[in-house]
């Protein structure tokens, strides 16, 4: 059975059909990366929640010594990468769905992407500084 | 209107103001709401890490804020959103794999997600309040 949105091959070149990247030239990249980070987030967030449970009232010395341990530093950086990427992708979809003014939408999409990159760099740099320089 | 209905009884578009909320639709929008509020709430993690990298004073300010009523409320919101989004995200992954599309199964999984999220939230706060000690 042919679905109505499936192209019949008349207007698309065979190469374009084989690439399957669609009008935005991205194909399923956004969708797939959101699922990839979603799966990664399951163990990483359970670890983060578990860690937050221990953190209550930790002093500066205890916290930095904990974060300087390789296992914790690595898991924290992985969490930050996966979570911020997942958040950037998700927020992008929300903006695309609910903001109907084209200029405002582009403005928000750029702003959010840069914001998440900034937040990720700031937090990952902090982890590295604590791990390497104390 | 009544004539049009007879000729072409297509479903009307769901105007949110007059549309009876269903478990599925409410859980769908809640997934977005919790996801977006967590994206904002992650700034607390950024603050914690940058403060710890900056020094004792900045870290102590963060620890003080987390101990205030507003800080505790934010942790409650963060944990509730995180557990809901986690459990419902797994439900979404099952849909992506092609399961749970029958209406009754979508509902069953929905109730399961709500129960699991509530259970995890209760466990988290029980442990946070020193329940295991």
Which residues of chain B are under the pLDDT cut of 50? Answer: 1, 4
* Domain ranges across chain B: 23-128
Q: What is the pLDDT of residue B1?
A: 47
Going from the C-alpha of B116 to that of each of A44, A56, A59, B86, the distances in angstroms are 18, 24, 33, 10
A64-86 pLDDT, tens digit per residue, is 999 999 999 999 999 999 999 99
Question: Which among A129, A36, A112 has a CA at the least distance from the CA of A81?
Answer: A36
Sign of the CA dihedral A29, A81, A38, B33? negative
Asked if A49 reaches chain B (Cβ–Cβ under 8 Å), the answer is yes
Cβ of A129 within 8 Å of Cβ of B42? The answer is no
C-alpha to C-alpha distance for A47 and A70, rounded to whole angstroms: 15
Which stretches of chain B sit within 8 Å of chain A by CB? 32, 35-36, 38-39, 42-43, 45-46, 49-50, 52-53, 55-56, 59-60, 63, 67, 75, 79, 82, 86, 89-90, 92-93, 96, 124, 127-128
- Is the minimum CB–CB distance between A117 and chain B shorter than 8 Å? no
Instruction: Return the pLDDT at A11.
Output: 75
And the tokens for B130? 């020193």
Domains of chain A: 29-133 (1.20.1300.10)
Residues 63-102 on A with a CB inside 8 Å of B are 63-64, 67, 76, 80, 83-84, 87, 90-91, 94
Q: Does A111 have pLDDT greater than 60?
A: yes
Domain covering B23-128 in this structure, CATH number: 1.20.1300.10
pTM here is: 0.87
Q: How far apart are the C-alpha atoms of A96 and B81, rounded to whole Å?
A: 22
Q: Are the beta carbons of B56 and A60 separated by less than 8 Å? A: yes
Give the residue from A134, A67, A11, A108 showing the smallest Cα distance to B55. Answer: A134
Query: How confident is the model at residue A4, as a pLDDT?
Result: 58
Nearest CA in chain B to A92: B36
* Cβ(A73)–Cβ(B58) below 8 Å: no
Distance, C-alpha B132 to centroid of its chain:
26
A7 has pLDDT over 70: no
Q: Are A77 and A124 in contact (CB under 8 A)?
A: yes
DSSP string across B2-71 = HHHHHH--PPPP--TTTSPP-HHHHHHHHHHHHHHHHHHHTHHHHHHHHHHHH-HHHHHHHHHHHHSHHH
Q: Helix, strand, or coil here: B93?
A: helix
Show residues of chain B in contact with A49, CB under 8 Å: 79, 82, 124
Burial of A50 from C-beta contacts in 10 A (0-12 / 13-18 / 19+): exposed
ipTM entry? 0.87
Contact B50 A63 (CB under 8 A): no
Tokens of A55: 């953190």
Q: Is the pLDDT of residue A29 over 80?
A: yes
Q: Kindly state the tokens that stand for B95.
A: 């849909």
Q: What is the pLDDT of residue A86?
A: 98
- Among A33, A54, A119, A134, most B C-beta atoms within 10 A, so best to mutate, is A119
For A131, the token pair is 């791990």
B90 contacts: CB under 8 Å, gap ≥ 6:
A42, B113
A96-111 average pLDDT score: 94
Note whether A112 and A91 are within 8 A (CB): yes
Nearest alpha-carbon partner for B84 in B112, B44, B45: B112
Nearest to A126 by CA among A53, A60, A87, A76: A76
């Amino acid at each position: 059975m042919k679905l109505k949105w499936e192209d019949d091959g008349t207007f698309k070149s065979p190469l374009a059909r084989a690439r399957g990247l669609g009008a935005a030239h991205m194909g399923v990249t956004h969708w797939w990366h959101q699922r990839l980070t979603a799966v990664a987030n399951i163990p990483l967030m359970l670890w983060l929640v578990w860690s937050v449970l221990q953190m209550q009232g930790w002093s500066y010395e205890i916290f930095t010594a904990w974060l300087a341990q390789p296992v914790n530093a690595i898991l924290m950086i992985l969490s930050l990468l996966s979570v911020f990427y997942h958040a950037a992708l998700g927020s992008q979809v929300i903006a695309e769905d609910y903001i109907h003014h084209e200029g405002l939408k582009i403005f928000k999409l750029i702003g959010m992407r840069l914001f998440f990159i900034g937040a990720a760099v700031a937090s990952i740099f902090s982890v590295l500084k604590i791990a390497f320089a104390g | 209107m009544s004539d049009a209905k007879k000729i072409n009884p297509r479903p009307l578009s769901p105007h949110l103001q007059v549309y009876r909320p269903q478990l599925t639709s409410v859980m769908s929008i809640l997934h977005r709401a919790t996801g977006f509020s967590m994206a904002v709430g992650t700034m607390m993690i950024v603050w914690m890490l940058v403060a710890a990298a900056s020094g004792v004073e900045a870290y102590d300010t963060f620890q003080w804020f987390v101990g205030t009523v507003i800080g505790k409320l934010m942790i409650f919101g963060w944990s509730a959103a995180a557990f809901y989004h986690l459990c419902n995200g797994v439900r979404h992954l099952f849909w992506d794999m092609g399961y749970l599309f029958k209406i009754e199964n979508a509902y069953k999984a929905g109730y399961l997600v709500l129960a699991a999220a509530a259970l995890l939230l209760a466990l988290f706060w029980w442990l946070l309040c020193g329940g295991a000690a």
